[in-house]
Amino acid sequence: MKFKVASALIVSGVFLANGVIAESAKPIRIWNLTASTITDFRLAKTGTKDFGPNLTLEDHDKTIEVDERLKLPKLEPGVYDARLTLKDGRTCQLSAVSIEASAVVSIDEKDLRDCAK
């Protein structure tokens, strides 16, 4: 009987610990520190040209406003190339952006070197 109770407590503890760990993990966030609203933001694994969907569509107003952090809970950590379009008309590329689990990845005006209008 003691063995069954101890086993049940251990199993319950494992499930609780896993729930706490999963709940405490924050999603990856993209922080817009540029001078303009981001209207289109796409990522591709570095070295490929396979850009995914427009991630700004995950936001309630479909943009990443200046000083806004967009939560991307489905995004996997990795190294990505980014392509973004700004409300002021610029389209910019960022190379080899390292994105870690639970990270806040800031995009600053000084990061926008490869832009066209």
Question: Is-above-0.75 flag for pTM?
Answer: yes
Expressed as residue numbers, the domain containing 66 is 27-116
1 located within any domain: no
Domain count, the chain: 1
Is residue 47 included in any domain, yes or no? yes
Query: Residue 21 domain-assigned?
Result: no
Give domain status of residue 85, yes or no: yes
Give me the CATH number covering residue 66: 2.60.40.2890
The per-residue b/e assignment along 39-70, b for 16 or more CB within 10 angstroms, e otherwise, is bbbbbeeeeeeebeebbbebbeeebbeeebeb
22: in domain: no
Residue 78 counted as domain residue: yes
Tens of each residue's pLDDT in the chain, 117 residues: 555 555 555 545 555 555 544 455 899 999 999 999 999 999 999 999 999 999 999 999 999 999 999 999 999 999 999 999 999 999 999 999 999 999 999 999 999 988 998
